[in-house]
Amino acid sequence: MRADGTIGNALYGNPDGHGKRSRAASLALRGRSMVSKKVATSGFERSASMAFKTITVKTENEQQMIDITQQVRLVVRESGVKSGVCRIFIPHTTAAVTINENADPNVRRDILTRLEQVAPSDGTYLHTEGNSHAHIKSSLVGSSVSVFVEAGQLVLGTWQSVFLCDFDGPRTRNVMVRVSDG
Ligand code: ZN
């Protein structure tokens, strides 16, 4: 390390000496990696207050959006995490998760109607299982969302909810929720 506290050109300073580092530079780099190890360790310790839970939802219709915000809030509360991130992932290829308006149910109807126009249920597809439209809708909407957690609460807008979208129901669907500290 140089007097000014940087390792600066120690790695690249000598064009004819690639790979050759001064002993001082090597020590500085070693010291540096110990610092990052320490950071990683403290991150690992923080992961003690992390929760993972699978929510099970029975859908009722062939295509619908179900508000799962309360179930997600419960996982956040049980986790004890005060400040962090809540990740919500759905492990299905014909369902999705999204965040959208919870007040006017017509918003959900409009979303489903428009998706149906993009990928009609009775359209012609190569996939022989008969649910290609659901695979397409699932990819368009996405399989995960993240929400910040502050003061032990999900940080959602006033009109926002987390929705499970089933495009090939009715089925029993799983939604994985991980709450991480920090
Ligand atoms: Zn399929």
Cα of 177 vs centre of ligand 1, distance in Å, is 24
Residues having C-beta closer than 5 Å to ion ligand 1:
129, 131
Tell me how far the alpha carbon of residue 88 is from its chain's centroid.
Answer: 6
Once rounded to an integer, what is the mean pLDDT over residues 80-86?
Answer: 96
CATH 2.60.120.460 fits 50-181, yes or no: yes
Distance (Å, whole) CA 100 – CA 90: 16
Which pLDDT belongs to residue 49?
55
Where along the chain do its domains lie?
A: 8-46, 50-181
List, for residues 154-167, the tens digit of each pLDDT value: 999 999 999 999 99
The Å distance, Cα 46 to ligand 1 centre, comes to 40
Torsion of CA 51, 138, 131, 172, to 10 degrees: 20
Cα 168 to Cα 68: distance, rounded to the nearest angstrom: 18
Instruction: Please give the model's pTM, rounded to 2 decimal places.
Output: 0.74
Residues 1-34 have pLDDT tens digits of 334 433 333 333 333 334 344 444 443 333 333 3
The band of 182, judged by pLDDT with boundaries at 50, 70 and 90, is confident
- Mean pLDDT is lowest, of 21-30, 44-53, 56-65, 112-121, for 21-30
